[in-house]
Amino acid sequence: MEQYIIKGGNPLVGEVEIGGAKNAALAILAAAIMTDETVLIDNLPDVNDINVLLDAIRGIGASVHRIDRHSVRINGRSITNFNIEYECIKKIRASYYLLGAMLGKYRKAEVALPGGCNIGSRPIDQHLKGFRALGADVDIEHGKIIAEADRLTGKHIYFDVVSVGATINVMMAASMADGLTIMENVAKEPHVVDVANFLNSMGANIRGAGTDVIKIRGVKKLHRTEYSVIPDQIEAGTFMFAAAATKGDVTVMNVIPKHLEATIAKLVEIGCEVEEFDDAVRVVSKGRLKSTHVKTLPYPGFPTDLQPQIGVTLALGSGTSIITESIFENRFKYLDELARMGSRASVEGHSATIEGVSRLTGARISAPDLRAGAALCIAGLAADGITIVDDIVYIQRGYERFEEKLKSLGAVMERISSEKEIRKFRLKVS
């Protein structure tokens, strides 16, 4: 199993290019099959999750032509199979977006029910509520969601929970339903807006994405388009906290600063200097960072996907910080790993209390999930000595060229897979 080995203590300095948003791209790739014409999508992040979903789309019969690492041509005309197997959903739960796409276009779909994951149980009841409201018969049999509809008719849908996945999945199905759908209590994340813009570029009629109410007038057919995915605000935020935690000076390039407002506000609050440009943000961290209280919320609140990253940063702050994770029920596991590096934190229900310490020391730790894994690498970069991070396959699911980008900013780290390489690295850096 591959690992990262990191020698901490170097401030990260320089510029880093941010890639396309994974969580927009996954939904856009699924929506691309909703037309029988060819769709060109670029600025895709070259990460495992994207590659697995492209295999799934190929698996149902669509033609998928990878032009280069960041762009692909998809044509859904040749789809014959409306069945997404458990094997696929286990690898990438976002393949459930094919449910909304196939229901909208073919009025039928069978998708294995996704299980929970490391950060929580992650039910999909709101997705199913939306499909049923549009007139689909949705049953769960033998671990599969079986959805069929003679007709899909626009409806007024009020979500009980603000859900990114349900908002996007139901929006896809409604975009080809008959009549007007009004969706309320919806997610407003930038990637929800990106998917709506993508569908509109194919001829859909979706208004209000990014606000509390989305109105959709269904259309009979969707057509070809060429589309570029928005930059990944979570990748950008990850590098911004890496700058903060290592007392560095990092400029994230090719970002949309507006998408980073909550992140920038917190970085300023804990003592970083932040400079915004048209499509870049610079983060400078000099002295010891301050403590703060942060609560994760749906956009435009502080994103849950940056909660582990601010957590490891605050572990080195002065004073006591409190983090409240209001989105997922099990997203503090990284604190157990961080404790092995000398941090002091305690978790009570949805809140973690973090007592800042003056130093962290390198240790052997493992990545519990995608974002916590990236956060623990930040801890290793800020710690004294050598840190080895196991299970980095989680990190590679959502971060393209993670160690190359960190090394370009001055990180002393390698991707390794043997004890021999650990010895070699220790010799090299000693």
Q: Which residues bind ligand EPZ (CB under 6 A)?
A: 23, 26, 94, 120, 122-127, 161, 163-166, 187, 304-305, 327-328, 370-371, 398
Nearest CB to ligand EPZ, comparing residues 297 and 412: 297
Shortest distance, position 418 Cβ to ligand EPZ, whole Å: 29
Count of residues in the chain: 430
Phi, psi of 170, deg, nearest 5: -70, -35
Task: Write the CA distances from 382 to 247, 312, 313, 338, 411, integer angstroms.
Answer: 8, 9, 9, 12, 10
Shortest distance, position 117 Cβ to ligand EPZ, whole Å: 8
User: Can 88 be counted among the known catalytic residues?
Assistant: no
424 DSSP assignment: H
| Residues 6 or more apart in contact with residue 50 via CB below 8 angstroms | 22, 25, 26, 29, 44
Nearest CB to ligand EPZ, comparing residues 356 and 398: 398
Shortest distance, position 138 Cβ to ligand EPZ, whole Å: 12
78 DSSP assignment: G
Nearest CB to ligand EPZ, comparing residues 125 and 184: 125
Secondary structure E strands in 199-350: 206-207, 213-217, 225-228, 249-253, 273-276, 280-284, 293-296, 320-325, 344-348
The sheet carrying 386-390 orders its strands as 364-366, 386-390, 3-7, 412-416
Shortest distance, position 27 Cβ to ligand EPZ, whole Å: 7
Nearest CB to ligand EPZ, comparing residues 129 and 405: 129
Shortest distance, position 102 Cβ to ligand EPZ, whole Å: 18
Nearest CB to ligand EPZ, comparing residues 67 and 393: 393
Shortest distance, position 302 Cβ to ligand EPZ, whole Å: 11
Phi, psi of 374, deg, nearest 5: -65, -40
Helical ranges in 79-124 per DSSP H: 86-91, 97-106
Nearest CB to ligand EPZ, comparing residues 12 and 166: 166
Shortest distance, position 49 Cβ to ligand EPZ, whole Å: 8
Q: How far apart are CA 269 and CA 160, in angstroms?
A: 33
Shortest distance, position 179 Cβ to ligand EPZ, whole Å: 24
Query: Residue 247: in which H helix or E strand, if any?
Result: none
Nearest CB to ligand EPZ, comparing residues 189 and 414: 189
For 153, the 3-state DSSP assignment is strand
Closest among 175, 170, 169 to 201, alpha carbons compared: 175
Whose CB is nearest to ligand EPZ? Answer: 165
Nearest CB to ligand EPZ, comparing residues 8 and 398: 398
The sheet carrying 351-355 orders its strands as 293-296, 320-325, 351-355, 344-348
For 6, the 3-state DSSP assignment is strand
Task: Write the CA distances from 263 to 97, 188, 327, 335, integer angstroms.
Answer: 28, 16, 17, 20
Q: How far apart are CA 265 and CA 293, in angstroms?
A: 12
Catalytic residue among 88, 117, 272, 377: 117
Cβ burial, residue 428 (10 Å; 0-12/13-18/19+): exposed
Catalytic residues: 117
